[in-house]
Amino acid sequence: MPSEDFDTAISEITQIYINLMKESYESLGINYGKTENDIDWRNYMVDDPISFDDGLYLGDGGEIDFTGYTGGIISIEKLLSIYPGANKNYATAALIALEKYGGSIGLSDKGKLLVLAQFAHESGNFKFTHELGYGKGKKYGVPTGPYNQIYYGRGPIQITWEANYKAITEQCFPKIGINADIHRNPDLCCSNLIVGCAASLCWFMLPGNGKRAIAAANSGDVVGLTRAINGGTAGLSERIKNTQKILAAVI
């Protein structure tokens, strides 16, 4: 097949995929957006390849048992009442990661709740674990590095680019006590929910917007936190609503 025909076929398949995801988001009550930029920010996680059981496994082989877990900053029951369509394991993994590692990266309890609201928004209310299109058409969407992996967006706050996967593996994970190599195996962010949520938290430890995001979260600044994570204010009204719902559930 000529390369032009192949590119056309891929483009048509991608458009069909986007249309299907648009319908899926709309069925969930999520505003997918109308312009290309809107669709780009809503370009999150299409499926969840995990076969769920009663526990999740950390990279060091340790099992986390969800039985009886109620959460520290907010109970899983309250969180699921806000997001009834959420995957319970995914929502619980987010709570565990925030409770276990949030303080070590500088988040207050209020900051953890604001970040939880952003996790919910970015993951389609705890349903989707990676980027639609797997980075196709993006500069980071090609195999690279010593492991020849594609470092497209993974996790509830998407981690992109090889340098970030490498930095999280080598610099951030050891500081919070996680033994997992997402540089060698980036799909761990999708196949292990704790690793994926912890990797998203470790983004806050990286140079750049991470420090600003922590300060915004701790001060209750949803707009500032959104700008730090998103680079703008796309989906701000939904992010504010998410935050208000979560805060109302714990007050």
pLDDT at 9 over 90: no
- In the chain, what are the domain boundaries? 44-134+183-250
Q: What is the pLDDT of residues 93-142, one digit of tens each?
A: 998 899 889 998 999 988 999 999 999 999 989 988 888 888 889 999 99
Distance CA 189, CA 129 (A): 8
> At residue 216, what are phi and psi to the nearest 5 degrees?
-65, -45
Q: Which two tokens stand for residue 217?
A: 């979260």
**Dihedral of alpha carbons 250, 70, 213, 155, sign:** negative
Mean pLDDT of 38-47: 35
Contact present, 32 and 57 (Cβ < 8 Å): no
CATH of domain 44-134+183-250: 1.10.530
Give the mean pLDDT of 214-221: 90
How distant is the alpha carbon of residue 82 from its chain centre? Answer: 18
User: What confidence tens digit (pLDDT) does each residue in 56-85 have?
Assistant: 333 333 333 444 444 468 888 899 999 998
Q: What is the pTM of this model?
A: 0.72
